[in-house]
């Protein structure tokens, strides 16, 4: 099969589009014929050796997958051959930047039917991150106010939709490039962080502050003052410590996305009911993945990009 692998950590130049042995599912695993893989900045982190996640070289990146069950390992009775699925692959294992990938059956759920199968790879990790940040960490409830900093990114789009659907008042930051997407997602207020100070623009207290964007500790700490007593600060950016305020009962939570098939199946149901929209920026062939990594390093990748492997 064709795959993109790196045999040593480093820059985008270590990625190779090459032949690799087709994987065989073990007990509790299934093999998926990949329809789509999704690029994530964490893929670049693994490739560069910046993330403390143990991998075996050579390594195939890509931990979001959509595709069709192609082979079943022993003991798998929850899925069937020919079934379309999506999943969040354990980051220590070989990923989906290939024609085939082996995945634990428990990590997969049935794919949404309302959107193209390849595009469904854009859901798992970012959708789970948004849900876990809002509800598991943030305990967001109807009637609360939430500030989402970085709402124009892939996680932000789901966070805005899910928060609005939960009955929250959503204040979101967005650049002019992403404003239309954030508006369509349902944000009640949109702050253009490129022209105004976020600290000055947020005049009313919020119950939840969700940070999804690069931010300095100084700015993050100052923004925490806009969280009401007893509120929570949630962040997906572990490079900066998430600030809280014990004196006011403001909790601090840092999110590292976790597999959760039940939540993922719920998100799929929302897509099929028309209550959740999947936004895909573009699609590129698997052979162009090294170039995509180079574009990301140059800051030229915006939105969720789907990688499509060649047909057999």
In this structure, what CATH number is given to the domain that contains residue 169? 3.40.50.720
Mean pLDDT to the nearest integer, 134-138: 97
**75 and 116 part of one domain:** yes
**11 and 98 part of one domain:** yes
**7 and 80 part of one domain:** yes
Q: Is the separation of the CB atoms in 6 and 14 below 8 Å? A: yes
Would 271 be classed as within a structural domain? no
**148 and 118 part of one domain:** no
**111 and 159 part of one domain:** no
Does residue 6 carry a pLDDT above 90?
Answer: yes
**51 and 91 part of one domain:** yes
Mean pLDDT of the chain: 95
- Separation CA 249–CA 171 (nearest Å): 22
Would 262 be classed as within a structural domain? no
Would 284 be classed as within a structural domain? yes
Q: What is the CATH number of the domain that holds 93?
A: 3.90.180.10
pLDDT in tens, 32-41: 999 999 999 8
**16 and 46 part of one domain:** yes
**250 and 132 part of one domain:** yes
**250 and 131 part of one domain:** yes
Write out the two tokens for 306. 């789907």
Would 74 be classed as within a structural domain? yes
**pTM metric for this prediction:** 0.94
pLDDT of residue 197: 85
pLDDT of residue 193: 82
Range of the domain at 90: 2-123+278-308
Q: Is 19 helix (H, G, I), strand (E, B) or coil?
A: strand
Mean pLDDT to the nearest integer, 225-254: 94
**DSSP letter at 112?**
P
**117 and 130 part of one domain:** no
- Separation CA 242–CA 253 (nearest Å): 7
Mean pLDDT to the nearest integer, 23-36: 97
Q: Which residue has the tokens 């910046």?
A: 50
**53 and 159 part of one domain:** no
Would 273 be classed as within a structural domain? no
Q: What are phi and psi of 106, to 5 degrees?
A: -70, -15
- Separation CA 191–CA 259 (nearest Å): 32
* Tally of domains within the chain: 2
pLDDT of residue 75: 95
Would 269 be classed as within a structural domain? no
Would 259 be classed as within a structural domain? no
pLDDT band at 196 (very low <50, low <70, confident <90, very high): confident
pLDDT in tens, 63-114: 999 999 999 999 999 999 999 999 999 999 999 999 999 999 999 999 999 9
Beta bridge partners of 4: 17
- Separation CA 210–CA 87 (nearest Å): 25
Would 156 be classed as within a structural domain? yes
**201 and 169 part of one domain:** yes
- Separation CA 116–CA 90 (nearest Å): 24
Beta bridge partners of 209: 147, 233
- Separation CA 241–CA 220 (nearest Å): 9
pLDDT of residue 312: 74
């Amino acid at each position: 099969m064709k795959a993109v692998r790196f045999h040593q950590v480093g820059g985008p130049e270590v990625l190779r589009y090459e032949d690799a042995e087709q994987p065989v599912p073990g007990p509790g695993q299934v093999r998926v014929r990949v329809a789509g893989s999704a690029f994530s900045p964490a893929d670049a982190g693994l490739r560069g050796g910046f993330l403390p996640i143990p991998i075996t070289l050579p390594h195939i990146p890509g931990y979001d997958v959509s595709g069709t069950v192609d082979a079943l390992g022993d003991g798998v009775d929850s899925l069937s051959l020919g079934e379309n699925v999506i999943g969040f692959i354990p980051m220590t294992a070989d990923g989906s930047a290939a024609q085939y990938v082996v995945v634990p059956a428990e990590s997969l759920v049935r794919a949404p039917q309302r959107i193209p199968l390849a595009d469904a790879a854009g859901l798992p990790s970012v959708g789970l991150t948004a849900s876990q940040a809002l509800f598991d960490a943030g305990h967001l409830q109807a009637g609360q106010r939430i500030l989402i900093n970085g709402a124009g990114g892939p996680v932000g789009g789901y966070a805005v939709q899910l928060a609005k659907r939960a009955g929250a008042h959503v204040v979101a930051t967005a650049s002019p490039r992403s404003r239309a997407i954030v508006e369509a997602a349902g944000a009640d207020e949109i702050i253009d962080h490129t022209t105004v100070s976020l600290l000055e623009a947020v005049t009313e207290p919020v119950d939840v502050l969700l940070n999804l964007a690069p931010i300095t500790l100084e700015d993050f700490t100052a923004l925490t003052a806009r969280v009401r007593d007893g509120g929570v600060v949630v962040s997906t950016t572990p490079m900066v410590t998430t600030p809280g305020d014990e004196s006011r009962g403001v909790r601090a939570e840092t999110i590292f996305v976790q597999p959760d098939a039940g939540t993922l199946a719920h998100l799929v149901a929302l897509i099929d009911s028309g209550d959740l929209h999947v936004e895909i920026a573009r699609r590129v062939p698997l052979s162009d993945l090294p170039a995509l990594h180079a574009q990301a390093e140059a800051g030229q990748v915006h939105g969720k990009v789907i990688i499509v492997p060649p047909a057999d």
